[in-house]
Amino acid sequence: MVVPQPETGSILFDCRWQEAPATSGPHMQRLLHWREELYKLDLVGMDERGIGFGNLSCRVEGHEPFFISGTGTGCKKRLSPTDFTQVTAWNYEGNWLECRGPCRASSESLSHAAVYEGRPQARAVIHVHHPVMWQALYMRIPTTHPQAEAGKPEMAWAIGHLLDQGCEDGVFVMGGHQDGLMAFGVDLEEAGQRLVDCFHRLMD
């Protein structure tokens, strides 16, 4: 498997943020609900260095492209609508994105974007960290190329490549992102349940 290697070197991630009020509505209720479920299982949370991990996103009719939890929100026990922002544009090669909302989006939003581009029917994407699941599922389920690292454009290419190959179950391992897994679905229920089922199969 060859992952295209654009000559991007290591361009620093650039979040072009425009401050705007929080949004509300059914999408926010579902985001908050699933964020709580994932936090309970430690799939989203804070690592031993005190850095938050995990993020979730969904697409909303009339508000494309997608809403996502903000950078650094993993460490918070409870999120509120001000912890979500709307990603409106991006560029993998340039390693930038544009977002509008009360907070900034993380570089991992580009991985969410890659899933939405590779699977137009996906309406929700969840990214979690879990060492046990990662090790147990690495290369046993679809896994992105180990040389494609998180926070680099190569990860987006690797996700696109993986989706081209299949990924029927809607869950995959991020091979070059220690502990990282992603799930997607037609809505947050489907994406979330896929991860929760995976978690219980391995951990119960």
Which residues bind to Zn ion, rule: CB under 5 A? 180
Instruction: Provide, rounded to whole angstroms, the least separation between the CB of residue 106 and Zn ion.
Output: 8
- Give yes or no for a contact between 87 and 77, defined as CB atoms under 8 angstroms apart: no
Taking the least distance from each CB to Zn ion, the nearer of 70 and 180 is 180
Taking the least distance from each CB to Zn ion, the nearer of 180 and 185 is 180
Taking the least distance from each CB to Zn ion, the nearer of 142 and 180 is 180
Q: How far is 70 from 174, CA to CA, in rounded Å?
A: 20
Instruction: Provide, rounded to whole angstroms, the least separation between the CB of residue 60 and Zn ion.
Output: 23
Instruction: Provide, rounded to whole angstroms, the least separation between the CB of residue 181 and Zn ion.
Output: 9
Taking the least distance from each CB to Zn ion, the nearer of 58 and 173 is 173
Number of H helices, E strands in the chain: 5, 10
Instruction: Provide, rounded to whole angstroms, the least separation between the CB of residue 179 and Zn ion.
Output: 7
**Contacting residues for 22 by C-beta, under 8 A, at least 6 apart:** 28, 80, 81, 82, 84, 101, 102
DSSP annotation of 194 reads H
The residue sitting closest to Zn ion, measured at its beta carbon, is 180
Phi, psi of 31 (to 5 degrees): -60, -45
